[in-house]
Chains A and B, each alone.
Chain A
Amino acid sequence: GPKVLQIPSHQIIDMGQMVTLNCDPVSNHLYFYWYKQILGQQMEFLVNFYNGKVMEKSKLFKDQFSVERPDGSYFTLKIQPTALEDSAVYFCASSLRDNSYEQYFGPGTRLTVL
C-alpha cells in the first residue's frame, strides 16, 4: 500500500539545538499531520497542514515548533530550540482528502534530547 517515509529514524541532540524531522508523504496526498508519542503514552495530535498552511494545532505545538512543505518536497517539523520534554517519537501522516478519514502513517522518528 501507500507508504510514508520518515528521515531520520533516530536523532539525538543536545537541549537548545535545532532539529528538523523530515517526512516524505504519499505522493498524491494533500493533507499532512504530525503526531507525538512519548514512550508508554498515547499518540497525540500536534498539527495538520494543507495547501501550504497550518489548519489546526494542539496545545502541544509550542511556539518553538514550525512546519512547512517547501515546493512540494518533504513535509518538515522543525523544533528550535529543543527542550528535554521534546524527547518522543514523532509520527508523520498524510491523507488524500479531508473526509477520506484514512491517514497513512510513517514509521516515526525517535528524538532524544539530552
Chain B
Amino acid sequence: SQWGEENLQALSIQEGEDVTMNCSYKTYTTVVHWYRQDSGRGPALIILIRSNEREKRSGRLRATLDTSSQSSSLSITAAQCEDTAVYFCATDASMGYKLTFGTGTSLLVDP
C-alpha cells in the first residue's frame, strides 16, 4: 500500500536559517501535498506539487519532486518563528479521494 514518510522527525533551527525537510514514498502518486499543522489545529495545505513538476515555489517555500526516486522536499528560506509547526507530506494516488500522510517533521524556529 502507499505511504509517505519524512526522514527526520524533529528539527530545531535559529531564525533566519534555511531548512529542508524530506519525504519519500513507496508507490505512484499524482501529486505531493505539503501541509503544516499548528498546535490544536488541523493540517493546512501550504504547497502542492504535481507529478509533472520538478519544483514549485510559494513565497519562502520551495517544494521539489523527483518521481524517479519517489521523493519530495520542502525548503523554507530565512525561517521565522511563526514557521514553527509540524510539517507533513501527503501523497495522493487516487485523484484527490484519499491522502496518505507521512509521520511529520516537527520544526522549531528559535528567535
Contacts and interface: CB of A to CB of B under 8 A. Distances in A.
Contact of A95 (B41, B96, B100): B96
Interface in A17-70: 31, 33, 35, 41-45, 48, 55-56, 58
B88 interface: yes
Nearest to A102: B45
Contacts of B92: 101
Contact of B40 (A42, A91, A107): A107
Interface string B41-62: 1111100100000000000000
Contacts of A102: 33, 45, 48
Query: What is the size category of the interface that chain A forms with chain B?
Result: 20 to 34
Interface stretch (B11-19, B71-79, B101-109): B101-109
12 contacts: A31-B97, A41-B103, A42-B103, A43-B101, A48-B97, A55-B97, A56-B97, A98-B96, A100-B96, A102-B33, A105-B35, A107-B41
Interface of B: 31, 33, 35, 40-45, 48, 88, 92, 94-104
Q: For the complex of A and B, list the 10 residue pairs with the smallest distance between their C-beta atoms, beginning with the closest.
A: A105-B42, A43-B101, A42-B103, A45-B98, A105-B43, A42-B101, A98-B96, A101-B96, A107-B42, A106-B42
